[in-house]
């Protein structure tokens, strides 16, 4: 087995035989043309045809990969009408007496070189586009069909690189995956492969002729490919691919459908994320919004305190990308198991019960205000909810709200646009559950953090593996607290969700629905199975599980 590493374009698995995709050698003679007028005519016809082809490719890419991926072919059609380029080729035919093929080779190569030497990376990248349209015109002039290079059997195609036009032209029903020695993850080819859902590995350094016909696996999750894989690897990655296929089928089945039980109860299914980079997963799994954006990961991924504008950019990006979907951003929940050096937090005997989360924010007010200002500024760009973690009392909630108001006033005085936003808390301490009625009166929503709620209710350190045998994720005390929180929230017009791991426990979905939960926020991979489960529940039937002691 040979392992080839590169850069993955799509998280997915492709399994199949390799076909080396190689453009036929083009012999272009520099001998003088017999009939320059006929050459000129051939050239003009070929350019016309190439423009038509780009228009066809545009339509094809539009249907398979969407507008932004298709745009490149509009650009190609325009390039083929560029007077400087076309006149330079004609000049080579008429004044220098060369063939149309030779003129295309020379004139397009020259222009590609000019672009390749430019400083601006965008313009530099246009060099590859000139070569792409050059190939199209040359193929027409020389009667070469690009389609014939793909073969007739489904295969993983391996090549030095693929031009965007080659990628779109490929017969997708025969295309299992792509491996290239060159290319980049942001090239048009990579973008097209991603939007066509084809696993591809780029920049893997080499593509060897001897791979032709060999079995290979592209493991997009681990950015590598295996040539001649071992039977064990083949079996485990075949299973992984089957899981992916099931997920895709589920996605197709559920896309655009509501999360409604058989008897008509609808709830929101949202996703938990740690950074704006996870937004793709929210969309891929068709989540209705974000129920928990753990903002502390911005702090954890930073070498120093993230500035107001850095935070604003991160929140704005998430809100803008997902609008009009709701994005619940939890304020910094640092401390305990999540430490950063630059904050100089002291080591404590009981970190889970220590100086953490809102306790830090309410004592380091300038630090907290930086985040609140960034959140308020971002509120103008989407549908925001601000959530405070680890709240144990109404006093803390009021202090948070006062600071938020203070920041709002400051920003209004600076003429900064602020949008609408909801304000809520994590219910993750027994104290918050027991004060839920008072807290609900001053909140738009509650989100139950079952991870910490279980830890604090059962006095079981969630970090301590030794305590696993004592831990019961379905502990009746925790389930009763969840019910109490939902009921208290509803008494005061406050919607209630669950964003801890328990929300993804499908054996409890019916129980939570019967308790009246309004939203479940789970890791992106759990969104689709949860949505399917909800759609299969009928609350008119007797409860299947009666875990909750009333």
Q: Which residues are identified as catalytic?
A: 188, 499
Please, which of residues 280-299 interact with ligand PEP by CB under 6 A?
292, 294
Residue-by-residue DSSP string for 22-86: -PPP-----SPPS-HHHHHHHHHHHHHHHHHHHHHHHHHHHHHH-HHHHHHHHHHHHHTT-HHHH
Residues 325-344: x where in contact with ligand PEP by CB under 6 A, - otherwise, as a string: --------x-----------
Q: Which is nearer to ligand PEP, 15 or 292 (CB)?
A: 292
Is 452 an interacting residue with respect to ligand PEP (CB under 6 A)? yes
Hunting for tokens 């995709």 — which residue is that?
21
Is 451 an interacting residue with respect to ligand PEP (CB under 6 A)? yes
Number of residues in contact with ligand PEP, rule: CB under 6 A?
Answer: 10
Tokens standing for 92?
């080579």
Cis preceding linkage at 324, omega within 30: yes
Q: What are the E-state strand segments in 383-502?
A: 383-388, 421-427, 445-448, 495-498
| 268-273 and 224-227 strand pairing | unpaired
Q: Which is nearer to Mg ion, 389 or 529 (CB)?
A: 389
Q: Which of 85, 269, 499, 527 binds ligand PEP (CB under 6 A)?
A: 499
Taking residue 228's Cβ as centre, other Cβ atoms within 10 Å add up to 13
Considering only CA atoms, give the Rg of the chain.
30
**Least distance from C-beta 454 to ligand PEP, angstroms?**
8
Q: What are the E-state strand segments in 248-370?
A: 268-273, 290-294, 326-330
Instruction: Output DSSP code: residue 452.
Output: H
User: How far is Cα 211 from Cα 509, in angstroms, rounded to an integer?
Assistant: 49
Residue 110 interacts, among Mg ion, ligand PEP, none and using kind-specific CB cut-offs from 5 to 8 Å, with none
Is 396 an interacting residue with respect to ligand PEP (CB under 6 A)? no
Residue nearest to Mg ion (CB): 452
**Least distance from C-beta 511 to Mg ion, angstroms?**
21
**Least distance from C-beta 435 to Mg ion, angstroms?**
17
Is 276 an interacting residue with respect to Mg ion (CB under 5 A)? no
Is 219 an interacting residue with respect to Mg ion (CB under 5 A)? no
Q: What are the two backbone dihedrals, phi and then psi, of residue 421, each rounded to the nearest 5 degrees?
A: -155, 150
C-beta separation of 100 from 40 below 8 A? yes
Please, which of residues 19-38 interact with ligand PEP by CB under 6 A?
none
Is 500 an interacting residue with respect to ligand PEP (CB under 6 A)? yes
**Least distance from C-beta 85 to ligand PEP, angstroms?**
57
> Segment contacting ligand PEP (CB under 6 A): 58-66, 90-98, 443-451, 542-550?
443-451
| Binding-site ranges for ligand PEP (CB under 6 A) | 292, 294, 333, 428, 449-452, 499-500
| Binding-site ranges for Mg ion (CB under 5 A) | 428, 449, 452
């Amino acid at each position: 087995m040979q392992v080839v590493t590169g850069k993955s374009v799509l998280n997915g698995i492709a399994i199949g035989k390799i076909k080396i995709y190689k453009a036929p050698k083009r012999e272009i003679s520099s001998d003088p043309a017999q009939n320059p007028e006929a050459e000129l005519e051939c050239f003009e016809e070929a350019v016309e045809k190439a423009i038509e082809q780009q228009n066809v490719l545009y339509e094809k890419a539009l249907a398979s990969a969407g507008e932004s991926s298709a745009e490149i072919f509009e650009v190609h059609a325009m390039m083929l009408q560029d007077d400087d380029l076309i006149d330079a080729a004609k000049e080579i035919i008429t004044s220098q007496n060369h063939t149309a093929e030779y003129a295309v080779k020379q004139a397009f190569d020259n222009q590609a070189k000019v672009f390749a030497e430019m400083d601006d990376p965008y313009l530099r990248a246009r060099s590859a586009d000139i070569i792409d349209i050059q190939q199209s015109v040359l193929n027409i002039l020389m009667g070469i069909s690009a389609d014939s290079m793909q073969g007739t059997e489904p295969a993983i195609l391996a090549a030095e690189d693929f031009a965007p036009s080659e990628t779109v032209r490929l017969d997708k029903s025969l295309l299992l995956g792509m491996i290239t020695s060159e290319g980049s993850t942001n090239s048009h080819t990579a973008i097209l492969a991603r939007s066509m859902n084809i696993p591809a590995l780029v920049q893997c350094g080499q593509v060897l002729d001897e791979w032709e016909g060999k079995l290979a696996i592209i493991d997009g999750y681990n950015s590598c490919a295996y040539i001649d894989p071992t039977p064990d690897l083949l079996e485990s990655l075949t299973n992984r691919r089957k899981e992916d296929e099931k997920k895709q089928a589920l996605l197709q089945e559920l896309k655009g459908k509501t999360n409604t039980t058989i008897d008509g109860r609808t709830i929101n299914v949202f996703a938990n994320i740690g950074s704006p980079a996870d937004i793709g997963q929210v969309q891929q799994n068709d989540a209705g919004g974000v129920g928990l954006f753990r903002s502390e990961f911005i702090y954890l991924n930073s070498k120093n305190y993230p500035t107001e504008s850095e935070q604003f950019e991160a929140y704005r990006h998430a809100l803008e990308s997902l609008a009009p979907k709701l994005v619940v951003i939890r304020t910094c929940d640092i401390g305990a198991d999540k430490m950063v050096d630059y904050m100089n937090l002291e080591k404590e005997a009981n970190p889970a019960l220590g100086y953490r989360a809102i306790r830090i924010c309410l004592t380091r007010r300038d630090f907290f205000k930086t985040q609140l200002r960034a959140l308020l500024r971002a509120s103008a760009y989407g549908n925001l909810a601000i959530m405070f973690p680890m709240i144990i009392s109404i006093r803390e909630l009021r202090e948070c709200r006062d600071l938020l108001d203070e920041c709002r006033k400051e920003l209004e005085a600076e003429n900064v646009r602020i949008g609408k936003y909801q304000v809520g808390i994590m219910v993750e301490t027994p104290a918050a559950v027991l004060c839920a009625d008072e807290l609900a009166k001053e909140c738009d929503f509650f989100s139950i953090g079952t991870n910490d709620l279980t830890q604090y209710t059962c006095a079981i350190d969630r970090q301590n593996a030794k305590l696993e045998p004592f831990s019961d994720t379905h502990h009746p005390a925790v389930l009763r607290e969840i019910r109490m929180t939902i009921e208290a929230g509803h008494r005061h017009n406050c919607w209630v969700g669950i964003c801890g791991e328990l929300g993804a426990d499908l054996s409890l979905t019916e129980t939570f629905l019967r308790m009246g939960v309004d939203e479940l926020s789970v890791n992106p991979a759990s969104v689709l199975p949860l949505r399917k489960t909800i759609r299969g529940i009928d609350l008119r039937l007797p409860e299947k599980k009666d875990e909750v002691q009333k």
